[in-house]
Chains A and B, each alone.
Chain A
């Protein structure tokens, strides 16, 4: 099975125009939108790894530092994601606790680990069936936006619950880090070129 690259056909990333290019693809521009034309996203794996590692590092302060500080009658109670989830679970809001836990802890972890597995697989370090990889990637891509929910909740609480010393919520550094984790994982997912999954397969086939 030949793919587009075999036939010297590249797709413009911007306008998705199919362009017939020579072997030397450098400095070739799309005749329609003048974007530089590549067969694949340049250094996609590197970029994805970089974003992924950055996200993985940020996971540490995001989970250890307080994500929000609740001030109630003068007493400030800082909460990390985990402690907040536990507090919610203890106060009989098990459903919400599960949602928060899934969205704030499981989903980022799932994304980072999932993408890592895909990358390792693409780099031929481990074997995952290409269709599974694609399924996994699509799942990561789709679920990515949902992990911002926790920040959304915090931002609403900060805006709404503001009664000075009596009752107020202030965001902590954890929230910033968590926000970075979410953004970085999304960027990682965006910079991964899914065609690489098939490229690997293609290469194996040709061998």
Chain B
């Protein structure tokens, strides 16, 4: 098997054959195990190199340390782990064998400190919170010295200064107070640093405190800064109560320091020494200012000065008599120490005032002052720096204002401090209230703030707006009130109205009790007109009850007393002077007290004059043509009084009356209506029981327009009340609206006394329709109301039934309705259709009945024969009360009658 292109080689060729050299070269694949060896060695080396260094820590006990679990952390980084815990040889402590990362080797120095961090909660704070989750761990504070692998653990975290975290200051003090490591250092109440440690200086017996100011605030510490203790609660007990002062809640618990930062100081380097003062006053850094007091200032030593709610100073000295060297005047003075921080604000325009406690119904203000004393507030000024200020007692006095004087008739609850409102916006206040003995008026000194001084015009009037104004009328209830503060404590409203414009340029302002009076101007101050009324004691009237004239309050009840006859009451009214002219001989007074609820369920009327009248009663009057006597005089007395009517209706009611008598008083009462054809024509106004005579007498008022028809002979009155019968319910509406009295028109002489029937009279009497009488052997259930049929059409009804004179028959009166009365002829036949007929025959049963109603209630039917032979007069129209026989059964012939009866033309 040789390829063709190769040259043939003789088989016996002796030429040496090439030595086949089998290459014995190492395959490059052998690099792989070398790499693997190197990699493995490297990894092993790494893990051995990082295996860590074992060292021992000597702990008092092994509480909270777990073998193999407890970590060693440095700056929060895990650098090692506890390997083993073993008892020390002396059996009093334990050795913890731990291993740290080889990289952390530098921390293993002689002075390195180890301590156990465990979660700890105390009043000063919670620490080691992270240990709750991660478990206890051992913290490290690296130290210096030789390499070491044996350590003693410290009990608590050492107070070593953290490196490069801020400015370290050293404070010396004679007592530590509540300052402890971790106490905060405040600058303007901002925490800017922490106390780090303290130690007792053996030489000076002072306490040296090391504190760190955070890096970003370190510039605040100046060479002339002063530090003071702001720890805990600073309580002082004085005449003005207890003064409690604290920096912050944490300051109470864990103590705090504060310092100031004078602008002229130079920034300091680490380890600057300062003295720690026990409080801000001792730091003597406060700026002293001087107050000129006015008499009412009422301040004491220790009163605080606040700015924006922060205490910035306190009164240190009050001199009640200091002689001004220049003017030789004796003025009280006070001195106060003010925080240097705010000294910049104390300029020429700065205004100080005293905030006093105020406890009233309208306003509870600074109640704490009762305990802590008054305090001083101020508004920063703009001018030059200064240290002497006037102290005013009322902040409102500081507002630039225009002083005016208002004369008032009575102080009426107005007091100093009450506001002056314009459109319910305070524009000023009362600065003083004095009684002017000359004018017998109250002089109100009022400060109108400068911004609103332009509101004082010639058309200005002042109104006392103390209290509530309630205006209730048909259109609704209107309660008008000044701001709630003015409502209770009083206030003055300024009103500008062109109508008020006075001629004089310099007017004396007066205080009007109300806007209505203000409109009257000076008239309001004239004396009121007094009139007297005489009334029955049934009226509810109280002093001060309003008197209205067409809903306008024009006066009030001044007094009321029992009249000499011990029966009436004499009421004295004060009518405002400006309305005095309204009282004249035509004046009619009536009571508008309380609420007048009248009417029935179907028609309820609630009426009241005003809310005030509900409570206090009220009197209304008007000038109308008196219908009744509007003036009365008591017996044995010449003085005449106006009569006080029960109501407007009573005062003006001139409707004609009619006297009705009843046999029973059931269903009637005052207000029961009298109706004619369903329309109300009057009502019962009074009911009297005549015991002796045995009837009831009622007085009814009839509507003037209709009265004449119903006070004539022939008028009939009867009581309509509900009737329940087989054929239905009559007057069902009276079940709800009550019974009423029906009346029919009469003709004839005037009569003023009527007897009221208990039921409707025979309608025949009314001349309505045609009444005929049928004579029957028995009544057969034909009660009044039973229908009368003609060709099964209901054309009338039974109205009455009675026994005949000999009691052998029953006389039944029928009433045929007017439009059907022509159907009744003298030859008409009547038969009873009560019940029904049942014919039972071979072909089945036939039930005959006039109508369903007749099955139940019975009925009467009639038929009229053909009026063919009119000659014998049998076909004439039947006259009223014609008597017919009532057949027991219908004659079939009658049913065949088919006359054509023309309706008579009217």
Interface residues of A (CB under 8 A from B): 8, 20, 22, 43, 46-47, 50-51, 53-55, 57-58, 60-61, 64-65, 73-76, 165, 173, 177, 180, 184, 191
**B3 close to chain A: CB less than 8 A:** yes
Residues of chain A contacted by B71 (CB below 8 angstroms): 74-75
Which 4 A-B residue pairings sit nearest by Cβ, starting from the closest? A74-B134, A54-B36, A53-B33, A54-B33
- B44 engages A60 (CB within 8 Å): yes
Q: Which B residues lie within 8 Å of A180 (CB)?
A: 36, 39
Residues of B within 8 A of A (CB): 1, 3, 26-27, 29-33, 35-37, 39-40, 43-44, 46-47, 69, 71, 78, 133-135
**A75 B134 Cβ-Cβ under 8 A:** yes
Contact A57 B27 (CB under 8 A): no
With A47-B29, A51-B29, A75-B69 as contacts: A60 and B40 at CB distance below 8 Å: yes
Give the distance in Å from the alpha carbon of A76 to the alpha carbon of B73 in the complex.
Answer: 13
Please name all residues of chain B whose beta carbon is closer than 8 Å to the beta carbon of A53 when the two chains form the complex.
Answer: 33, 36
Q: Can you offer 23 A-B residue contacts whose CB atoms are under 8 A?
A: A22-B3, A43-B27, A46-B26, A46-B29, A47-B27, A50-B29, A50-B33, A51-B29, A51-B32, A51-B33, A58-B36, A58-B39, A58-B40, A60-B44, A61-B43, A65-B44, A65-B47, A74-B71, A74-B133, A165-B134, A173-B43, A180-B36, A184-B36
Give Cα A54–Cα B29 distance, bound, in whole angstroms: 10
The distance from the CB of A165 to the nearest CB of chain B, in whole angstroms, is 7
> Is there contact, CB below 8 Å, between A50 and B32?
yes
Nearest B residue to A62, CB-CB:
B40
Contacts of A184 in B (CB 8 A): 32, 36
Instruction: Please determine whether A55 and B69 come into contact, CB atoms closer than 8 angstroms.
Output: no
User: Do A54 and B35 have beta carbons less than 8 Å apart?
Assistant: yes
Q: Give the CA-CA distance A191 to B29 in the complex, in Å.
A: 11
> Which residue, B1, B30, B135, has most C-beta atoms of chain A within 10 A?
B30
Least distance between A123 CB and chain B CB atoms (Å): 14
CA distance A75 to B26 in the complex (A): 49
In the docked arrangement, what's the CA distance between A57 and B38, Å? 9
User: Which A residues are CB-close (under 8 A) to B37?
Assistant: 54, 57
Does the CB pair A76–B135 fall under 8 Å? no
Partner of B36, one of A22, A46, A57: A57
**Given contacts A50-B33, A51-B32, are A177 and B134 in contact (CB under 8 A)?**
no
* Residue from B26, B33, B40, B133 within 8 A of A177 (CB atoms): B40
In the complex, residue of chain B having the shortest beta-carbon distance to the beta carbon of A7: B1
Determine if A8 and B1 form an interchain contact, defined as CB atoms under 8 angstroms apart: yes
Q: Knowing A43-B29, A54-B36, A75-B71 are in contact, say whether A61-B44 is a contact too (CB < 8 A).
A: yes
A173 to chain B, nearest CB (A): 5
Contact residues in B for A51 (Cβ distance below 8 Å): 29, 32-33
B36 lies within 8 A of A64 (CB) = no
Q: Which residues of B contact A191 (CB under 8 A)?
A: 29
Residues B133 and A73 in contact, CB atoms below 8 Å apart: yes
Q: For B1, B39, B71, B78, which residue has the most chain A Cβ atoms within 10 angstroms? A: B39
Q: Once the chains bind, are B40 and A57 in contact (CB under 8 Å)?
A: yes
Residue of A nearest to B36 (CB): A54
Q: How far is the CA of A54 from the CA of B41 in the complex (A)?
A: 12
- Indicate if the CB atoms of A61 and B29 lie closer than 8 Å: no
- B78 proximity list for chain A (CB < 8 A): 76
Residues of A within 8 A of B32 (CB): 50-51, 54, 184
Contacts of A177 in B (CB 8 A): 39-40, 43
Chain A residues within 8 Å of B135, by CB: 73-75
Q: For B27, what are the chain A residues with a Cβ–Cβ distance below 8 Å?
A: 43, 46-47, 50
The residues of B that contact A55 with a CB separation of less than 8 Å are 36
CB distance from B21 to the nearest CB of A (A): 13
Complex Cα distance, B35 from A74, in Å, reads: 36
- B133 proximity list for chain A (CB < 8 A): 73-74, 165
> Are A46 and B30 CB-contacts (below 8 A) given A20-B1, A57-B37, A58-B36?
yes
Residue contact B29 to A64, C-beta cutoff 8 Å: no
Q: Which residues of B contact A64 (CB under 8 A)?
A: 44, 47
Name the residue of chain A whose CB is nearest to the CB of B71: A75
> Residues of A contacting B31 with CB < 8 Å?
50
CB closest residue in chain A, given B1: A8
- Cα distance, A55 to B27, chains bound together (Å): 17
Kindly provide the distance from the CB of A50 to the nearest chain B CB, expressed in whole angstroms.
4
Q: A180 vs B33: C-alpha distance in the bound complex, in angstroms?
A: 11
| Chain A min CB distance to B804 (Å) | 116
The answer for the CA separation of A20 and B30 in the assembled complex, in Å, is: 32
Name the CB-closest residue of A to B28: A50
Task: Specify which chain A residues have a CB less than 8 angstroms from the CB of B26 in the assembled complex.
Answer: 46
A51 — nearest CB in chain B belongs to which residue?
A: B32
- Complex alpha-carbon distance, A39 and B95, angstroms: 70
- Tell me the smallest distance from the CB of B70 to a CB of chain A, in Å: 9
Cα separation A74 to B27 with both chains bound (whole Å): 50
Measured in the bound complex, the distance between the Cα atoms of B504 and A190 in whole Å is 127
The residue of chain B having its C-beta at the shortest distance from the C-beta of A180 within the complex is B36
Chain A residues contacting B69 (CB-CB under 8 Å) are: 75
B222 to chain A, nearest CB (A): 45
Q: Nearest Cβ in chain B — how far from A41, in angstroms?
A: 11
Q: Which of B36, B71, B78, B133 has the most CB of A within 10 A?
A: B36
When distances are taken between beta carbons in the complex, the residues of chain B under 8 Å from A65 are 43-44, 47
**Nearest Cβ on chain A to B99's Cβ, whole angstroms:** 12
A163 to chain B, nearest CB (A): 12
Given A46-B29, A50-B33, is A73 in contact with B40 using a C-beta cutoff of 8 Å?
A: no
CB neighbours (8 Å) of A76 from chain B are 78
**Cβ contacts under 8 Å, B3 to chain A:** 22
By beta carbon, the residue of chain B nearest A20 is B1
Would you give the shortest CB distance from B511 to chain A, in whole angstroms? 78
The interface centre, meaning the residue of A50, A73, A177, A184 with most chain B CB atoms within 10 A of its CB, is A50
Nearest residue, chain B, Cβ from A55: B36
Additional A-B contact list (13), CB under 8 Å, known A53-B33, A75-B135, A173-B46: A20-B1, A43-B27, A50-B29, A57-B33, A57-B36, A57-B37, A58-B39, A60-B40, A61-B39, A64-B44, A73-B134, A74-B134, A191-B29
Closest to B48 in A: A64
The residues of B that contact A61 with a CB separation of less than 8 Å are: 39-40, 43-44, 47
- CB nearest neighbor in A for B35: A54
In Å, the complex CA distance between A73 and B134 comes to 5
**Of all chain A residues, which has the CB nearest B37?**
A57
Considering the chains assembled together, what is the distance between the CA atoms of A43 and B35 in angstroms?
Answer: 19
Distance of A141 Cα from B3 Cα, bound (Å): 40
Enumerate chain A residues within 8 angstroms of B46, measured Cβ to Cβ: 173
Closest partner residue, chain A, to B78 (CB atom): A76
Name which residue of chain A comes closest to B137, CB basis: A74
Q: Chain B residue with minimal CB distance to A47?
A: B29
- Measured in the bound complex, the distance between the Cα atoms of B1 and A53 in whole Å is 43
Give min CB distance, A51 to chain B, whole Å: 6
| Measured CA separation A74–B132 after assembly (Å) | 11
Q: In the bound complex, what is the Cα–Cα distance between A64 and B46 (angstroms)?
A: 12
Give the Cβ gap from B739 to chain A, nearest Cβ, in Å: 89
Q: B residues within 8 A CB of A43?
A: 27, 29
Residue on A nearest B2 in the bound complex, by CB: A22
Cα A98 to Cα B715 in complex, Å, equals 125
The winner among B1, B43, B78, B135 for most chain A CB atoms within 10 A is B43
Residue of A46, A75, A165 most packed against chain B (CB within 10 A):
A75
- Distance between B452 CB and nearest chain A CB, rounded to angstroms: 67
Output the nearest chain B residue to A48 by Cβ-Cβ distance: B29
Distance of A53 Cα from B39 Cα, bound (Å): 13
| Docked CA distance A64–B135 (Å) | 28
Q: Give Cα distance in the complex from A43 to B135, angstroms.
A: 59
B-side contacts of A165, CB under 8 Å: 133-134
* Interface-centre pick from A47, A55, A57 (highest chain B CB count, 10 A): A57
Which residues of B are found within 8 Å of A8, using beta-carbon distances? Answer: 1
CA–CA, A76 to B46, complex, Å?
A: 19
CB distance from A84 to the nearest CB of B (A): 15
**Nearest Cβ on chain B to A62's Cβ, whole angstroms:** 8
CA distance A174 to B864 in the complex (A): 133
Least distance between B118 CB and chain A CB atoms (Å): 14
Bound complex: CA A8 to CA B40 (Å) = 44
Say how far A52's CB is from chain B's closest CB, in angstroms: 8
- How far apart are the CA atoms of A173 and B46 in the complex, in Å? 10
